[in-house]
Amino acid sequence: MKPIRITAIRPTTVSVPLEAPLRHANGCHWGRFVRTIVEVDTDAGITGLGEMGGGGESAEAAIRALERYLVGTSPFDLERQRFMIANPTASLYNNRTQMLAAIEFACIDIMGKALGVPAYQLFGGKLRDAVPFASYLFFRYPDAAGANEVRTAEQLVAHARALKARHGFTSHKLKGGVFPPAYELACYRALADALPGDSFRYDPNCALPLEDAVRFGRAIADINNDYLEDPTWGLNGNRQVRAATGLRIATNTVVVNFEQLASNIRDHAVDVVLLDTTFWGGIRPCIKAAGVCETMQIGIAVHSSGELGVQLATMLHLGAVLPNLTYSADAHYHQLTDDVIAGGKMRYTGGAIRVPDGPGLGVALDRDKLAEYAALYGTLGGYPYDQDPGRPGWAPITPNTAWADPDDARRPDLTVA
C-alpha cells in the first residue's frame, strides 16, 4: 500500500437541538449541543471523521493550527502524533488532549477505510456486536413549547418509563446536583421503586459536601446500585465516601489520565473508571487504561461527555473490544432530536446500540444535516455550559453548600409540587 499523508484538517461547528434543556450541578445544556466535526483529508482521497465538544471561531482556529504539525505525516503514526501535539509536559501549556482525541478518531477512521476494516478490527476485534447503555436521566427545563419538563419525582419516573419502553434500558443514571440532596434522594428512590429489577446510578457531578454524600450513600444501600458516581469532589473525598458507605464509587472526573489511575491503584478511592474517548485523548488510551483496570480488577464503563454520531461510534468501537466491560455505557444520545450522520440517529434495541461494521468508524456525514446544523450554530451561537438560563447570575460552587442556607441566592428554586 502506498503511504498515506494528511493534507488538511477541516473543523465545522454545529448545534443540534436537545428535547429540552438539561440541568446539572455546574450549569445547563441550554436545549442544544454545540459540537465540532473534524474532517481530516489525505492524499489517498480518504477523509476521516472526528468530533469534539464545543466549537466556534477560536476552537476551529485551534484545530486548524494543528495542520502545521500534521500535514505531510501519516495518519497511521498515532503514537508519534501523541507526542507531537499533546506531549505530557508540553500539555501543561497547550492543553490539547481533547483536540488530540478528535484527530485520533479521524486517523483511525482513515486507517480502517484504507484497509477496508471496521475500527474495532484495528484493536483486536470485537467481543460483542452491540454495546448496552443506561438511560441518562436529567432534571430538565421545559422546551420552548412548555413540554418535556422533568422536575418532580412523578415526571422523572414517567420519563424513565417512557425511555425504557422506547429503547429497552434496564439500567438508569440520574444526573443530580441540581436540587438539595434530600429532594434528589426521594427522586432516586422513586425511580428504583418504579422500575423493580433494573439497576441505578446517581451522579451529582461532585457537588455534594462529603457529609451529604455519605448520608445519601447510606440511604440508598438497599437499592440495586451500579455505583455512586462522583458523589463528592476528588480522590480523597470519594475514598471517604467509599469507606463510610461500602458502595462502589465511579468517577469520570478524577481518574482521567494514567497518573491519576496510578494514584487510584496505590491508594484505592474509586472502583469504576468511566472511560471517555475525548477526556482520555482518544480510543487507544481508553483501551490501554482498560487493560490496566483488567489487571488490577478495577471496574470500567464507557463515559459520555455529550456526543453526536461520530463520537458515539468511537464509544461503540471502544465498548466492542473491552473484555472487562461489566457495566452499561452512558450516552446523552437519546436526548438529541437529530444527528449529522447519514441515515439519521442510530437506534437502540434492547437498551443497546449495534457496533457499526462499515470500514473505519462506520459512519458517514449527511452533508445537508451538517449544513443545517452549522447554520443553526451561526444563528444561535454558543452557550456557557457553566451557567444556567433559569438562574441568571448564579455560579456553581463545589461542594455546593448553598442548599443548607435558605437565604442563599444560589439555592435552587424549590417551588415543586
Residues forming contacts to Mg ion in the complex (CB under 5 A) are: 203, 229, 252
Which CB atom, from 49 or from 235, has the smaller least distance to Mg ion?
A: 235
Cβ atoms of 38 and 3 closer than 8 Å: no
Which CB atom, from 176 or from 359, has the smaller least distance to Mg ion?
A: 176
Task: Give min distance, CB of 111 to Mg ion, in A.
Answer: 30
The Cα-based distances of 251 to 39, 149, 232, 330 in angstroms read 31, 28, 10, 13
CA atoms within 13 A on the CB side of 181: 25
What are the grid coordinates assigned to 139, written together?
432534571
Which CB atom, from 302 or from 340, has the smaller least distance to Mg ion?
A: 302
Which CB atom, from 229 or from 388, has the smaller least distance to Mg ion?
A: 229
Q: Rounded to an integer, what distance in angstroms lies between the CA atom of residue 390 and that of residue 408?
A: 16
Q: Rounded to an integer, what distance in angstroms lies between the CA atom of residue 74 and that of residue 137?
A: 41
Task: Give min distance, CB of 183 to Mg ion, in A.
Answer: 19
CA atoms within 13 A on the CB side of 213: 35
Which CB atom, from 51 or from 203, has the smaller least distance to Mg ion?
A: 203
Task: Give min distance, CB of 114 to Mg ion, in A.
Answer: 35
Q: Rounded to an integer, what distance in angstroms lies between the CA atom of residue 360 and that of residue 105?
A: 9
Report which secondary-structure segment, H or E, holds 39: strand 32-42
Q: Rounded to an integer, what distance in angstroms lies between the CA atom of residue 303 and that of residue 317?
A: 13
Catalytic machinery residues: 175, 303
Task: Give min distance, CB of 302 to Mg ion, in A.
Answer: 12
**DSSP H helices in 267-410:** 283-296, 309-321, 367-380
Q: Rounded to an integer, what distance in angstroms lies between the CA atom of residue 334 and that of residue 354?
A: 15
**DSSP H helices in 73-133:** 78-86, 91-94, 97-115, 119-122
Which CB atom, from 105 or from 138, has the smaller least distance to Mg ion?
A: 138
174 phi and psi, to 5 degrees?
-100, 120
Task: Give min distance, CB of 205 to Mg ion, in A.
Answer: 6
Nearest CA to 230 among 303, 331, 281?
303
Which CB atom, from 252 or from 335, has the smaller least distance to Mg ion?
A: 252
User: Based on the number of CB atoms within 10 Å of its own CB, is 140 exposed (0-12), middle (13-18) or buried (19 or more)?
Assistant: buried
Task: Give min distance, CB of 252 to Mg ion, in A.
Answer: 4
User: Based on the number of CB atoms within 10 Å of its own CB, is 161 exposed (0-12), middle (13-18) or buried (19 or more)?
Assistant: middle
Task: Give min distance, CB of 367 to Mg ion, in A.
Answer: 34
* Cis ω before 399 (30° cut-off from 0): yes
